[in-house]
Chains A and B, each alone.
Chain A
Amino acid sequence: DAGVIQSPRHEVTEMGQEVTLRCKPISGHDYLFWYRQTMMRGLELLIYFNNNVPIDDSGMPEDRFSAKMPNASFSTLKIQPSEPRDSAVYFCASTEDPDRAYEQYFGPGTRLTVT
């Protein structure tokens, strides 16, 4: 298996633009997580899905952020409009076993820079 796939790996955009980050989880994994990594706060959970349904979005910073999972093999995280403080590395992770859901497999991340 190729592991969790994220695209793009790097994104540079101007303030006010819409940004869409993409994730393909490992096949068969029913849980999908979106995280954001910053120096100050480390890894923060933004939202997670189980069987394509959002379970907990309490970590989503504000209404500018939205996430979807239209099918078991694809998820998007959208920021509209983007702001400089959104600059961070965004990770997607997945796991298959609800009893060991805490052992998550991470993608390589998308480094977002908003100027």
Chain B
Amino acid sequence: DQQVKQNSPSLSVQEGRISILNCDYTNSMFDYFLWYKKYPAEGPTFLISISSIKDKNEDGRFTVFLNKSAKHLSLHIVPSQPGDSAVYFCAASAEGGKLIFGQGTELSVKP
């Protein structure tokens, strides 16, 4: 069973608009959440993270929101750029630095 779920396999957004990627999790013991970005033929790269004691973390155009009561997090990209087109993976940190990933959401930002 998937402890981390990304229910939208794809998302298409116009350049300059906001992209919102969503992620749900089931285990309330997760203490850290991360987003990774992956381009074709490359490995995932770390994008942004948030501790479970916070509800928001911002880094430039990227903001992650955490709603612990709903076991939900989201990544907002504003404004979206064509170079943001990639697969985005949500992940949760479990014991020992182990990461549990979602299925990924493919974002396409159209000019």
A interface residues (Cβ-Cβ under 8 A, vs B): 4, 31, 33, 35, 39-45, 48, 50, 55-56, 91, 93, 95, 98, 101-109
Do A93 and B43 form a contact, CB below 8 Å, given A45-B98, A45-B100? yes
Docked-complex contact A91 and B98, CB < 8 angstroms = no
Which single residue of chain A is at the shortest CB-CB distance from B90? A42
Within 8 A of A (CB), among B70-109: 89, 91, 93, 96-104
B interface residues (Cβ-Cβ under 8 A, vs A): 2, 6, 32, 34, 36, 41-46, 49, 89, 91, 93, 96-104
Docked-complex contact B99 and A42, CB < 8 angstroms = no
Question: What is the distance, in angstroms, from A23's C-beta to the closest C-beta of chain B?
Answer: 11
Supplied contacts A45-B101, A109-B42, 19 more A-B pairs, CB within 8 Å: A4-B43, A39-B103, A41-B2, A42-B89, A42-B103, A42-B104, A43-B91, A43-B101, A45-B100, A48-B96, A55-B96, A91-B43, A102-B49, A102-B91, A102-B93, A105-B43, A106-B36, A106-B43, A109-B43
